[in-house]
Amino acid sequence: MKTIDDVNESCNDLFLKEVCFNGEQIALRAKEKRLLNVLITASPGCVSRQKIAEDIWDGRFVSDFTINQTINSLRRKINDNDRVLIKTKPKEGYVVDREVAALFTVDEPSSKEPNAEPSREPKAESIPAESPTDEKNMVFVATDNVAKDDTVNIPKKGMRVQKRLLHRVLILLSLLLACVMAGIGAGAIRDFEKIESNMTLYIDGLKFTFRKGEVEYDIDDKTIKCDLLKKVASDGDIIFTDTTLCKRTH
């Protein structure tokens, strides 16, 4: 079974210097190298986040947090602190200029490396990681074991809470994929009323955005928004009904 975010590459992958930038050798992890290859191949074109999810994670479950983490790690490795080598195009994706792409040389691992071994896929473990900057911003990052230079603090209480929320996410996603154009069950969306911040996930190349009381997703160049209708209760409070409305926004 392949993992979603292989932040724990083998020692050989970590220390074999396979990428050369402007005459300097740089060691990259597997997904950082794949990301760089995608950006260079597409240069000077723009690579969307959906394209990155499809090519780097094979379209499997991956959060915006994980994509950002990989891009930022690659930028640090190539000393792109000013973001001039890998440029961000708002609402479109990422671009590497043709002149910059020409400075990169990707070499194959040396066959004479004494410690080189065939890569082995370790057994995957799913570890929900809590964002250190905002407790309300819940993200899910499935990893092997955390690499030595990537420290993640996972409180036991936070882990239990996020496991329950992840379970709800998976249930809702199953419903979404089962009734893509037919609408979303009201009870499924109601489970997400307690989410106080937006959550974006990419599943099989499709982008799903979860908000309080609603789900929005893109398919066939259409954006579909499904939410619970509201009504005024007898005591004057505005409450959610059990009626689900799905409509195309654009």
Provide CATH 1.10.10.10 ranges for the chain: 11-106
The answer on pLDDT for 184 being more than 50 is: no
> Percentage of the chain surpassing pLDDT 70?
51
- pLDDT for 75 equals 87
Supply 223's token pair.
């954006």
Give the span between the Cα atoms of 65 and 72, in whole angstroms: 10
Q: Which of 21-25, 35-39, 126-130 has the lowest mean pLDDT?
A: 126-130
- The answer as to CATH 1.10.540.10 being correct for domain 11-106 is no
Which of 171, 91, 166, 162 is CA-nearest to residue 131? 162
Q: Which residue has the tokens 């964002």?
A: 131
Enclosing H/E stretch for 88: strand 87-89
- pLDDT for 116 equals 41
Supply 92's token pair.
């479109």
The answer on pLDDT for 193 being more than 60 is: no
Give the span between the Cα atoms of 147 and 1, in whole angstroms: 19
Give the span between the Cα atoms of 48 and 177, in whole angstroms: 22
CB atoms near residue 114 (< 10 Å): 5
- pLDDT for 248 equals 76
- pLDDT for 143 equals 38
Residue 238 per-residue DSSP state:
E
Give the span between the Cα atoms of 175 and 159, in whole angstroms: 24
Q: Read off φ and ψ for residue 140, nearest 5 degrees.
A: -125, 120
Supply 160's token pair.
């239990």
Supply 213's token pair.
């009381």
CB atoms near residue 241 (< 10 Å): 11
CB atoms near residue 238 (< 10 Å): 8
The answer on pLDDT for 119 being more than 70 is: no
Q: End-to-end alpha-carbon separation of the chain, Å?
A: 38
